[in-house]
Structure 1
Amino acid sequence: MNQNRNVVLFIASSLDGYIATKDESLQWLFDVEGEGDNGISEFYDTVDTLLMGKKTYDWLMKQEMEEFPYTNKECYVFSRSSYEDTENVKFVNDDIKNFVNTLKNKDGNNIWVLGGGELLHSFIQEDLVDEIIITFAPTILGNGIPLFKEGNRQLDLSLKGTRKFNQFIELHYEVKRQ
């Protein structure tokens, strides 16, 4: 078993804990002055597998892109419904815990939980997240799509590091396990 393959949440958030506005806009992120790509490429090189929810996938597909942005990675989309796999994405409606633990037991690099408050909530409830990297923007949205949903599981974290990207601050945590 590869003990070094972690499930990592890497995401940007407003200071008040929202990942998007109610209408799914991320414009507030682009209105903040960052530095380079705010560490995304460096992180991206550490992963070979991406996991996202169907809402995040649908949002991504609505964006004007010349090609799918994650063609060089294994990409899985969790959905409650069955969909036919595409050239770039495999759809999953299996038990999340079993599926992720199977991935973790394969050789490879880290696994990126790309997005979706719903999916992240399931990952936290099932104790599947190993690291959390949140880049906070100096923006208060007041409402929107929350990063963390109310749940019945507490996560205790240990700070691994902080970085500053001009106006953005990245906090990197490891999930403490008993």
Structure 2
Amino acid sequence: MSKKVIISALVSLDGFIATSQGNSAILEENFFICQPAGIELRKPAQSEWILLGRKTFEIYREKLLKYVQEGCKIAVLTHNPLRLNETERCVYCFNRSVEQVIEILKKKSSANIWIIGGYQVINEVTSHNLADEIHLITLPLVLNEGIPLFNTELPAPRVELSDVQKYGELTYSTWKRSV
């Protein structure tokens, strides 16, 4: 199996992944209401590692345990060590660049690396064209302002649309790295 680096993100119709204060709860709530029963849209198949920043880890800490129970390991980008409890033995902290951590995880992994954020991590990965795929779940929601999915001051990801599916009011699109 070929290892891939896959970004997965919830995004509003107007391209935001969080409010101006960095809160993504409204997107999460909307996704919870709209997600189709029995279909996993977030976690890519055959994912062994979940890569995310410290703030995102702190927000989703409890929810991530579900994926740990399914065999995933978690890599957290942080400058400061985390206080981990006994149930978080599969959480590893890295004080390195995203590029370095992805290389380390690729060497340790036999499966996909799933990136779920935050926006700084996503932008560093996309601006360096490190993602093999970007999976976007577009919600029927307009925020009018907030944190955009991509920082327009950085190089845009070089991707092309591979697939689009509609699930009720949600749109699920897959973008693959173009050469």
Do the structures match in fold with TM over 0.5? yes
Indicate how the Cα distance of structure 1 residues 44 and 34 shifts in structure 2: closer, same or farther if over 3 A, else same: same
Deviations along 1:154-173, one digit per CA (max 9) or x if unpaired, are 32222211111110001101
Q: Which whole-Å CA distance do the structure 1 matches of 2:6 and 2:137 have between them? A: 13
Given candidates 173, 176, 179, the residue that maps to 1:174 is 176
* Change in 2 beyond 3 A, CA 1:116/1:162: same
| CA–CA separation in structure 2 for the residues paired with 1:22 and 1:107 | 35
Structure 1 length as normaliser, TM-score? 0.83
State the AA in 1 paired with 2:67: Y
For the structure 1 residues 37 and 81, does the alpha-carbon distance in structure 2 shift closer, same or farther, using more than 3 Å as the test? farther
Whether the aligned pair in 1 keeps the contact of 2:18 and 2:24 (CA below 8 Å) is yes
* 1:68 alignment counterpart: 65
1:22-101 pair list within 5 angstroms: 22-23=20-21, 24-31=23-30, 32-36=33-37, 39-40=40-41, 43-61=43-61, 68-71=65-68, 72-83=71-82, 86-101=88-103
CA contact (8 A) 1:117 1:147 kept: yes
Instruction: Tell me the amino acid that sits aligned with residue 10 of structure 2.
Output: A
* 1:39-67 alpha-carbon deviations (Å, 9 max, x no partner): 336x4432111000111011113x6x6x8
The aligned residue for residue 104 of structure 1 is 106
Question: Is 1:121–1:151's contact at 8 Å kept on the other side of the alignment?
Answer: no
Residue 126 of structure 1 deviates from its aligned partner by 2.7
Query: How far did residue 98 of structure 1 move?
Result: 2.2
CA change 1:154–1:25 in 2 (3 A) is closer
Between stretches 82-91 and 139-148, larger displacement belongs to 82-91
Does structure 1 conserve the Cα–Cα contact (< 8 Å) formed by 2:49 and 2:109? no
Measured after TM superposition, the shift of residue 38 of structure 1 is: 5.1
Instruction: Tell me if structure 2 keeps the 8 A contact 1:12–1:137.
Output: yes
**Structure 2: runs of 5+ lacking an equivalent:** none
1:60 is paired with a residue whose SS is helix
1: CA distance between counterparts of 2:39 and 2:144? 24
Amino acid paired to 2:29 = F
SS at match of 2:121: helix
Please give the TM-score of this superposition, normalised by the length of structure 2: 0.83
Unaligned residue ranges in structure 1 (runs of 5+): none
Aligned AA for 1:17?
Answer: G
Indicate which of 11, 16, 19 corresponds to 1:18.
16
Amino acid corresponding to residue 127 of structure 1 in structure 2? N
Amino acid in the other structure paired with 1:80: H
Distance 2:29 2:136 in 1: 16
CA distance in 1, matches of 2:56, 2:45: 21
User: How much does 1:96 deviate?
Assistant: 2.2
1 CA distance for matches of 2:145 and 2:109? 40
The percentage of counterpart residues that share the same residue type is 22
Conserved? CA contact 1:29–1:137, under 8 Å: no
Residues 81, 150 of structure 1: CA spacing in aligned structure 2 closer, same or farther, 3 A cutoff? Answer: farther
Alignment of 1:120-135 (within 5 A): 120-135=122-137
